[in-house]
Amino acid sequence: MATLSTSAWVLHELGLAAGFGGPLFGRLALHQAVKDIHSEAERGKVLADAWQRYNLVNAISLGTAAATWFIGRTVISGRSIDEETRNLVRLKDFLLGATLATSLVNMVSGREMSEQAPGRAVPIRDGDTPSPRTPAKAAGLQQLLNVMGPLNIALTAGVIGVTTVLAMKSGRSTKWSFISRLLP
């Protein structure tokens, strides 16, 4: 396989890994760990700062995964794949688009939530639970994030799963083996 195609594939996989791993860590570990911080406002500030830092990584990672996928899709004709594979490609298109959309909603909602208190110190019980002192708008945004965050993780996992199935199918395809030799 050519260097450019291999590099794009590696960047695609790394982008998906970072887009899955970071939010999964945040939801399962970070959100619960902030309970050890005694101040509810400090908990909110720590979470806001951590997510704001990771949002750049997440945007670059998923943007790279999407760019490599959609650019690669424009280079290769659909005539080289069977109907089952074509359906998997369409499913990946949908899942990747939904992953990007939920990521954007999460980034914007998280930023807006953090702006509901001075110094981005929105009081929270833990990463998933508002406290009685959480401003109403921030509490509503937290509820949105509690739905969109896990949905984003599930969608990204779906993209990774479909990517794996497509890679396995391509490894068994003699037609694809021939075509991939012609890629840059």
131's tokens: 């406290």
Domain residue limits at 59: 3-180
Beta bridge partners of 126: 129
- Indicate the number of domains in the chain: 1
Which tops the pLDDT comparison, 36 or 8?
Answer: 36
Local confidence band at 48 (pLDDT 50, 70, 90 cut-offs): very high
Instruction: Express as a percent the part of the chain with pLDDT over 70.
Output: 88
Of residues 62, 48, 19, 56, the one with CA closest to residue 153? 19
CA distance 30 to 34: 6
Q: What is the pLDDT of residues 64-117, one digit of tens each?
A: 999 999 998 887 666 667 888 889 999 999 999 999 999 999 999 999 999 999
Helix and strand totals (H; E) in the chain: 6, 2
CA distance 108 to 123: 19
Mean pLDDT of 131-137: 97
Mean pLDDT of 51-57: 96
Beta bridge partners of 129: 126
Mean pLDDT of 158-183: 72
Res 172: pLDDT: 59
